Amino acid sequence: MIKINVEVNDLENVADPRRLSDEILRKIERHLQWIDTHENYSYELTLFVEQCVIEANRGVAKMSLKGVLNDQQIDKSFHSLEKGFKYKPHLPTRSLQLNAFTNLFTWIKRLIFPSGIELALAKRRLSGRAANAIEEGIREVCATLDRLLERPLSNGKEQWNYYYGLAWKCSVVALVATSAISIFRVLVVQSNAHLVWGVFASTLAAFGLTLGWGLTTLPDQFYLSEPKGRKLAKLVGAKTPTGIRSVALFMILLSATGMMLGIYWLIFE
């Protein structure tokens, strides 16, 4: 038997327990689609959502996974915490302003395009960190299931290492090529307007274009349940593979703009 259930305890901060359980179940089942082709797995598991704390600068989620997997009793607990920016008087004003802008942007985005998990929670204005904590708990559950089921690792780590190395190589090539163009313009055309900016923008854009493309091609499993991918997701600042790819597409767009500006400064100015 292959079956997994999600039960949400009677929690004060969950406005719609059914929606929350359906959303969590959908994410886990999508992650476990690979198992349909393997007949040697049998499990009947229940994931309990036991705690959900919603505060202005903190979100907490506590879950437990219980049941039977391949005749083995499973009883595991998951505790995830999402903290926000902590105000410290000695921090520079610029850091405080940047964080305030980021929080405002995130808050507006959540109000206009809330996720399914956020719609299920109470206190919509403050529920962002709690939703992130639940997402982190789901990733912990998926990673645990992958380990218990001995799921083979994806090739995401090798892909990431390849694109990361390629990004550095492309940036070096761009640096050499744009530097040669700059020297030619200074010696022959006798023009040095914005050449340094052209070299800088083109080099950075080459790195961003290659790395951004690499991020869009990595498999979901890598981001959701493999240690290297989860660290990368935290570094990017997104919580889901879709979010990471959205950030990557924005990086590609920004880098393409930088590349066009760099070429303009190098050749046409």
pLDDT tens per residue across span 158-192: 999 999 999 999 999 999 999 998 888 888 766 66
Q: Is this structure's pTM higher than 0.75?
A: no
**CA nearest to 14, candidates 29, 26, 24:** 24
Tell me the average pLDDT across 256-262: 93
* Contact assessment for residue 224 and residue 242, using Cβ atoms and an 8 Å cutoff: no
Tell me the average pLDDT across 136-154: 85
Joined tokens for residue 131: 């939703």
Q: What is the DSSP string of 2-19?
A: EEEEEEE---TTBS-HHH
pLDDT tens per residue across span 78-106: 998 887 544 444 444 444 444 444 455 45
Q: Is 13 exposed, middle or buried (0-12, 13-18, 19+ CB in 10 A)?
A: middle
CA dist 196 to 22, 165, 204, 208, 229, Å? 54, 25, 12, 18, 35
CA dist 193 to 179, 259, 265, 268, Å? 14, 17, 7, 10
Q: For strands 58-69 and 2-8, give the pairing.
A: unpaired
Question: What single-letter amino acid sits at 39?
Answer: E
